[in-house]
């Protein structure tokens, strides 16, 4: 019974959350400045134009609304 209640609560919160459409990329200096106002973890992404895995991450991962 507890598992069912937990599932319902988690499901209700997931319906209520809203995701961004895309990742809001900012410079490293801007991220540090924003982090001082609202501290939370942030991702540093390093990429090159010739890297196939970097392009795959942009196309599949960062374009996913759940991830963004």
| Burial readout 13-30 (b: 16 or more C-beta within 10 A, e: otherwise) | eeeeeeeeeeeeeeeeee
Closest CA to 25 of 53, 45, 41: 45
Domain spans, the chain: 19-68
pLDDT greater at residue 49 or residue 3: 49
pLDDT tens profile 40-55: 888 888 888 899 998 8
Distance from first CA to last CA of the chain, Å, rounded?
A: 34
- Least confident interval from 2-6, 7-11, 43-47: 7-11
pLDDT tens profile 10-33: 555 554 555 556 778 888 899 999
Q: What angle do CA 46, 52, 56 make, to 5 degrees?
A: 80
What is the predicted pLDDT for the residue at 46? 85
């Amino acid at each position: 019974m507890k598992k069912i209640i937990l599932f319902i609560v988690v499901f209700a919160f997931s319906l209520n959350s809203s995701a961004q459409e895309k990742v809001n990329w900012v410079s490293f200096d801007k991220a540090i400045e924003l982090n001082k106002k609202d501290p939370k973890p942030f991702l540093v992404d390093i990429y090159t134009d010739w890297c196939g895995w970097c392009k795959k991450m942009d196309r599949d991962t960062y374009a996913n609304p759940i991830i963004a």
